[in-house]
Amino acid sequence: MKEYYKAIADFHKKFEMKGTNNEEMTFRLNLMTEELGELAQAVTKGKGKKAIVEENIDLLNLIIGNFVSLEISSEEIKKAFWEKHKKLMSREKKLVNGKNFRISEFK
């Protein structure tokens, strides 16, 4: 994570994003929506694994960029990741609507 975080922090620095729309969350949400649409097209139009990997990397870069923009350190991300992972690992898996498996708390 640290390696990716530094790479994206360097990207933000190179393009002087601090204090601009590039680090505003509403703008970033629009970018993520755009990239999610590109991923959806790659999947639904059968563009292949290479395109699917690229669109996922675009989303990953934006997500890491969100942390950089919000000044959340890689150590804080690591802590939050493992807290969430622990929760996820305690969940149940169930078949819903007779065809899709879901992993949730099922309250």
Selected from 58, 61, 66, 72, the binder of Mg ion by CB under 5 A is 58
CB of 55 to Mg ion, least distance (A): 5
CA distance 55 to 63: 12
Report in angstroms how near the CB of residue 34 gets to Mg ion at its nearest: 8
Number of residues that bind Mg ion (CB under 5 A): 4
- Rounded distance, CA 12 to CA 22, Å? 8
Choice between 23 and 38, CB closer to Mg ion? 38
Please, where are the H alpha helices in the chain? 2-14, 25-44, 49-69, 74-89
Window 18-47: residues binding Mg ion (CB under 5 A): 35, 38
The answer to whether 90 and 104 are in contact (CB under 8 A) is no
**x/- binding map, residues 60-79, to Mg ion, per CB under 5 A?**
--------------------
Q: Helix and strand tally (H, E) in the chain?
A: 4, 2
CB 23 within 8 A of CB 12: yes
Applying CB under 5 A, the span of 16-24, 54-62, 74-82, 98-106 interacting with Mg ion comes to 54-62
Per CB under 5 A, residues contacting Mg ion are 35, 38, 55, 58
